């Protein structure tokens, strides 16, 4: 796809090419980043249980917080990979950048754990 400001890339916009790129990136993240894979798997299980229980609002909330934590994890992985590409040796400034990216994941993960924890807890109470 052509970058309109830099004038680089192939001309024209192709939505299918964009979707293929998104799918390839998500596939790579799930296969090679365990933190993305287990969060997606656990959320899928809880989401399936919420859908079976017909808790539609809870299901939508699970989808939103799962998307939030997956985006944070994927962006963190991208920042870390870029930092490692730019500077292969230890650098304090790079370490701070990586720590800040990890903190973003931590905040998203806290919200994700709270929502899934409350959801699993309410399902447990209702199914007993």
Q: Which of 26, 108, 101 is nearest to 66 (CA)?
A: 108
What is the model's pLDDT at position 9?
Answer: 63
Distance (Å, rounded) from C-alpha 64 to C-alpha 68?
A: 6
Cα-flanking dihedrals φ and ψ of residue 2, to 5°? -80, 130
pTM given for the model: 0.74
> What pLDDT is recorded for position 103?
93
CATH code of the domain in which 38 resides: 1.10.287.3610
- The predicted pLDDT at position 3 comes to 56
Cβ pair 62, 50 in contact under 8 A: yes
Verify that 45 and 95 share a domain, yes or no.
yes
Q: Which domain holds residue 78?
A: 34-127
Q: What is the mean pLDDT of each run of 10 residues along the chain (128 residues)?
A: 59 72 84 89 88 82 92 92 92 92 92 91 83
Q: What is the pLDDT of residue 90?
A: 92
Residue 8: per-residue pLDDT: 63
For residues 12 and 61, state if they share a domain.
no
pLDDT at site 96? 92
Domain count, the chain: 2
């Amino acid at each position: 796809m052509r970058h309109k400001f830099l004038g680089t890339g192939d001309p024209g916009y192709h939505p299918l090419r964009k979707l293929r790129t998104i799918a390839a990136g998500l596939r790579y993240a799930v296969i090679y980043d365990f933190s993305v894979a287990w969060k997606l798997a656990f959320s899928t299980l809880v989401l399936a249980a919420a859908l079976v229980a017909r808790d539609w609002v809870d299901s939508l909330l699970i989808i939103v917080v799962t998307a939030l934590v997956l985006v944070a994890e994927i962006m963190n992985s991208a920042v870390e990979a870029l930092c490692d590409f730019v500077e292969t040796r230890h650098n304090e400034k790079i370490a701070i950048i990586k720590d800040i990216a990890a903190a973003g994941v931590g905040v998203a993960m806290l919200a994700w754990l709270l929502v899934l924890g409350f959801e699993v807890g309410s399902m447990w109470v209702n199914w007993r």
